[in-house]
A and B are shown apart, each in its own frame.
Chain A
Amino acid sequence: DAGVIQSPRHEVTEMGQEVTLRCKPISGHNSLFWYRQTMMRGLELLIYFNNNVPIDDSGMPEDRFSAKMPNASFSTLKIQPSEPRDSAVYFCASSYGTGTYEQYFGPGTRLTVT
């Protein structure tokens, strides 16, 4: 069974450019999470969806960040315009809310903004 798929795996962009990160959750999972990992702040939850609906976006840093989940098998995290301080590893995770709530993480996208 395929795990959580993220693309691209690495992204290097210049300040001011738009960046779009993509995630395909595990088939059948109904919750999807976007995290950001940095040395300074550790692992932070940015937003999570349940049944394609955003449930908690309190971790989204500012208006430059937006996330969508148009259907159960696809989500995007967009940064526009990007800034050097957005450089981080962005993880997508999914889960099936049966009570176990184990979150399955993708391999991450390493974003570098120069």
Chain B
Amino acid sequence: GNSVTQMEGPVTLSEEAFLTINCTYTATGYPSLFWYVQYPGEGLQLLLKATKADDKGSNKGFEATYRKETTSFHLEKGSVQVSDSAVYFCALRLQGGSEKLVFGKGTKLTVNP
């Protein structure tokens, strides 16, 4: 079936450290891929997306590249800030017009000053 696997958390980093959160997927066809972020006590917000192979999504210093050959969409940021502390969700949407998103379990990131 269609699924998303994220690295287990929690992840704890110091400010200005490099961040990678791994995400791999299983899907039929060519899905669109997303990273959503959830700050404490809030709903999810779209962080970035990529709709086809080799696309790079970027926003707020975060980047992720759609790698079809490795079925991956790893999230990276060169220098994290305390304000980046949140839970990050990788998700896919199948091609074919369905609006259904399949989410990973989420990875909690804590950035210490």
- Which residues of A approach B to under 8 Å, CB–CB? 4, 31, 33, 42-43, 45, 48, 50, 55-56, 91, 93, 95, 97, 101-103, 105-108
Q: Are A93 and B32 in contact (CB under 8 A)?
A: no
Report the 8 A-B pairs with minimum CB-CB distance, sorted nearest first. A105-B43, A42-B105, A43-B103, A105-B44, A102-B46, A106-B43, A107-B43, A31-B99
CB neighbours (8 Å) of A95 from chain B are 99
Q: Are B43 and A48 in contact (CB under 8 A)?
A: no
The A interface, classified by DSSP as helix, strand, loop or mixed, is strand
B residues 18-66 in Cβ contact with A at 8 Å: 32, 41-46, 49
Which among B42, B102, B106 is the interface contact of A107 at CB below 8 angstroms?
B42
Query: How far is it, in angstroms, between the C-alpha of A101 and the C-alpha of B33 when the chains are bound?
Result: 11
A-B contact count (CB 8 A): 45
Query: How far is it, in angstroms, between the C-alpha of A43 and the C-alpha of B37 when the chains are bound?
Result: 13
Q: Are A42 and B98 in contact (CB under 8 A)?
A: no
Q: Are B99 and A101 in contact (CB under 8 A)?
A: yes
Min CB gap A28→B, angstroms: 16
B residues 67-110 in Cβ contact with A at 8 Å: 89, 93, 98-106
Query: How far is it, in angstroms, between the C-alpha of A56 and the C-alpha of B6 when the chains are bound?
Result: 25
Min CB gap B4→A, angstroms: 10
CB neighbours (8 Å) of B103 from chain A are 42-43
Which among A42, A48, A107 is the interface contact of B100 at CB below 8 angstroms?
A48
Q: Are A107 and B41 in contact (CB under 8 A)?
A: yes
Min CB gap B59→A, angstroms: 12
Query: How far is it, in angstroms, between the C-alpha of A56 and the C-alpha of B106 when the chains are bound?
Result: 23
